[in-house]
Amino acid sequence: MNRKVEIQDLGLMDYKDCWDYQEALFKGIVDIKIRNRREDANLDTPNYFLFVEHPHVYTLGKSGDKSNLLLNEAQLKAKNAAYYKINRGGDITYHGPGQIVGYPILDLENFFTDIHKYLRLLEEMIILTLGEYGLKAERSPGETGVWLDVGTPFARKICAMGVRASRWVTMHGFALNVNADLGYFDNIIPCGIRGKAVTSLNVELNKEKVDMNEVKLKLNQHFATLFEAEMHIKTPIL
C-alpha cells in the first residue's frame, strides 16, 4: 500500500495535452495492477496530484447535455475558447486562467475503495481551504462540488468537480475559481444547473488577485491530512 503522492505543477497547459498526459499516468497505474494480478507480483502503484491552469475551454462530461453550451463553433472561436466532450462524470464546465484545476490520479486501493468517500473528501479539502480565507463553504444536497450560501437565493458555486474511476484508479478532478474570469460562465449552463450563480475567491474576498500558489499549498496540506498521504513535490510550486 503506497500512500506517497507525487505533486506536479504543470503551469498553463493546453487541455487536450493535459488530458493525454492524465491518460498516460492513469494507464501506467492500471497496467501495474493488471500485471500484479496476472503475475502474482507485488509492485507498488504510484499516485499523482496534478495542478494546472488551462487556456479557455469548455468540457462536457460523458452524460452531459451539449445544449448546455450556449455557443456555436464560430462563437467559440471568437472567444478563443476550445470545446471537448470527455470521459468524466458530470455535465458542462469551464476552465481558464485564474482557476486552479486539480487532477488527483490515485490508486484508491492505496487509500480506501469508496468513490463516494473520495468525492466527499475532495469537497472537504476545498471547504477547509476556503475556511482559511474566512468563507463558509458547503456542499449542496444532490449537487457535487462546493458552494457558498447554500439554501438561499444567493447560492453560488465556487468549485466544480467531475471524476472518472476504473479499477479504483481516478482521473480528472476539481476546478476551483480563484481569480477566474466569470464572464466565460455566461456562455454555459454550469453543470447543467439553471438559476444558480458562479463565483470566484477573489470576488468573495473583494481582492483584485489572490495568491494562487498560497491556495495550492493549503490544498496540499488538507489533502495530505484527509487522505493520510505523504506528499512529494516533483515540480516546485513557486
How far is Cα 158 from Cα 174, in angstroms, rounded to an integer? 10
**Exposed (0-12), middle (13-18) or buried (19+): which is 13, by Cβ within 10 Å?**
middle
196: Cβ contacts below 8 Å, ≥ 6 apart: 155, 156, 157, 190
Beta strands in the chain (DSSP E): 4-12, 48-53, 57-60, 82-85, 92-95, 99-105, 137-140, 143-148, 156-166, 169-177, 197-198, 230-233
The DSSP output letter for 45 is: P
- Name the residues annotated as catalytic: 191
User: Beta strands 169-177 and 197-198: pairing type?
Assistant: unpaired
